[in-house]
Structure 1
Amino acid sequence: MPVLPTFVGVTPTAHDRNHGAGLRLTVLGCRAGMPEPGWPSSGYLVHLRDGEVLLDCGPGVAAKAAARAAELSAVFISHMHTDHCLDLLVLGKTLTQRPLPATRLPVYVPAGAAATLRRLNELFPLGGDGPGEHPADHVFRDVFDVVEYAPGEAIRVGEATIEPVAMRHRLPCCGFRVEAGGQSLAYSADTTTTPAFEKLAGGVDLLLAEATLEEPDRTGHGHLSAGEAGRLATDHGVRDLLLTHWAHTDGGWLDAQVARARAQFDGRIDVAVPDHTFHVSETQEP
């Protein structure tokens, strides 16, 4: 199990199925790059009153997401780096081990990603002669309904409106703004600073922002530092800030990242840790 620091505002349950509780977010994984024991890569479950939406599906997320399959309404993938999408194949193969529902699960992906995912599936057939007719060889046809989204075009999922917003990263990448029941949250995905944050996060109740770096990115790869995450939250009128996408997971390093964000943002700051749920509707002192 990971050694988890204690922060205010963390509700330590990932199994809250109370759909009347308003907009909530459960962290399934939050590690930047590859997972480590107890810390899967990126995966975030948004709880709606009428279902759940998975944002990203990195390594280590599939088993947790499969346990919630009956609740899932859709999956959204921010970009095609492996720490954000690789467990989609595992999730799909896992779902073929149970009776498939009549309606395929919508999976929204960046432009061009559908063909990439189909090729990935073909590399791991059940039989030695290549893909056969079993759904496990065609999860992106028989299990998932793969739809390539366009930045700026909002998508309706049950009661929620989810808008992909183009960010700045080494690969094409979108963050997601989620609005439902008068509440809002935004997920930055991977990005450096960009004017698009106003569209993504302007006035949201909760900003789930990466805080991968200790100092601003000078490489052009496209990542945020904790201080930049705090400054963006202040500049765009965010109520609460949830930091994520950790390069390291020891308590001292996480404490230092919080301090860097706190120097730029006076609102409530929480820390993403696996299997913790954050209630967007709660109003508490920071």
Structure 2
Amino acid sequence: MTIASHVPRLTVYGCRAGMPEPGWPSSGYLVHLRGGAVLLDCGPGVAAKAATAAELSAVFVSHMHVDHCLDLLTLGKALAYQARDRRRVTAYVPPGAAATLRQLNELFPLSPHGPGPHRTDRVFSDVFDTVEYAPGEPIEVAGATVQPVLMRHRLPCCGFRVSSNGQTLAYSADTAMTPSFEHLAGDADLLLAEATLTEPDSTEHGHLSASEAGQIAARYGVRGLVLTHWAHTDHAWLAAQGERAAQGERAAQHFSGRIDLAVPDHTFHL
């Protein structure tokens, strides 16, 4: 393995806020590490791509809104049909989520008589090693340290700080402005931040605008910023000089470092 292959990098599988659209899966991001790879969130449309990631070591779910977690069951069923000697993938999920996911699995049994012994009926025990993480407690996986950081959203939600080989990726998940960014994003090489809104959130839902993402990147010494979690993906909105480009310009009013815009299947180096 070359030194370059040790450098963490990020591949966007999906970056759509809410439900997917053609070519635009919901949230899902693969972080390539020296000891494997971890998937951050697994929203609708992500499973088909994640199931082909041979180096997949773990999945981290930020919160239990369906656009961030629903394809976890589909991914597990896809993995169940791969080589039976494949080791289990660890699924790190929010507190209380394990029981919800098991109930979801039981709603779709292979047999009309209910769940049986087949692995597709036991995704969250036989395919995934399902572990509920605790906010603030670091996890060692795939040669990296992943720290869940509690953010500010309508449901309990954690962002993830992934550190490996002397470099750090911070993923905001869904959140409003919060002091937690000091712990999540401080001196990160790359901040993957939602830019769902064009104006600051005036509700209690908990989302960022692109301007706020730029402010966060500047305030906490981030070296690079990737904006994601697009609220719209229609052709007009995605035009070269359209709203998605304008979101980058809004962030650039506050942050002078590198700014990229998330697009499915694009890879970013830290």
* Fold in common (TM above 0.5): yes
Post-superposition CA distance 1:19-48 (Å, at most 9, x none): 725010000000000000000000000001
Partner of 1:262: 252
Matched-pair identity in %: 70
Partner of 2:34: 49
Matches within 5 A, 1:1-286: 20-68=5-53, 70-101=54-85, 103-249=87-233, 250-251=238-239, 252-280=242-270
Q: Give the whole-Å Cα distance in 1 for the aligned partners of 2:144 and 2:46.
A: 23
Q: Give the whole-Å Cα distance in 2 for the aligned partners of 1:55 and 1:18.
A: 24
Would you say how many aligned residue pairs link Structure 1 and Structure 2?
A: 263
Post-superposition CA distance 1:140-198 (Å, at most 9, x none): 01100000000000000031000000000000000000100001110000000000000
Partner of 1:12: none
Partner of 1:14: none
Preserved contact between residue 47 and residue 75 of structure 2 (Cα < 8 Å): yes
In structure 2, relative to structure 1, the CA distance for the partners of 1:205 and 1:67 (3 Å cut) is: same
Preserved contact between residue 110 and residue 149 of structure 1 (Cα < 8 Å): yes
Preserved contact between residue 62 and residue 173 of structure 2 (Cα < 8 Å): yes
Preserved contact between residue 154 and residue 205 of structure 2 (Cα < 8 Å): yes
Unaligned runs of 5+ in 1: 1-16, 281-286
Q: Give the whole-Å Cα distance in 1 for the aligned partners of 2:96 and 2:4.
A: 34
Preserved contact between residue 25 and residue 47 of structure 1 (Cα < 8 Å): yes
Q: Structure 1 residue 101: deviation in Å?
A: 3.2
Q: Structure 1 residue 268: deviation in Å?
A: 0.5
In structure 2, relative to structure 1, the CA distance for the partners of 1:140 and 1:19 (3 Å cut) is: farther
* Structure 2 SS opposite 1:33: coil
Q: Structure 1 residue 103: deviation in Å?
A: 2.9
Unaligned runs of 5+ in 2: none
Instruction: Answer 1 or 2: higher relative contact order, Cα 8 Å, separation at least 6.
Output: 1
Partner of 1:283: none
Q: Give the whole-Å Cα distance in 2 for the aligned partners of 1:248 and 1:158.
A: 34
Pairwise CA RMSD: 1.3
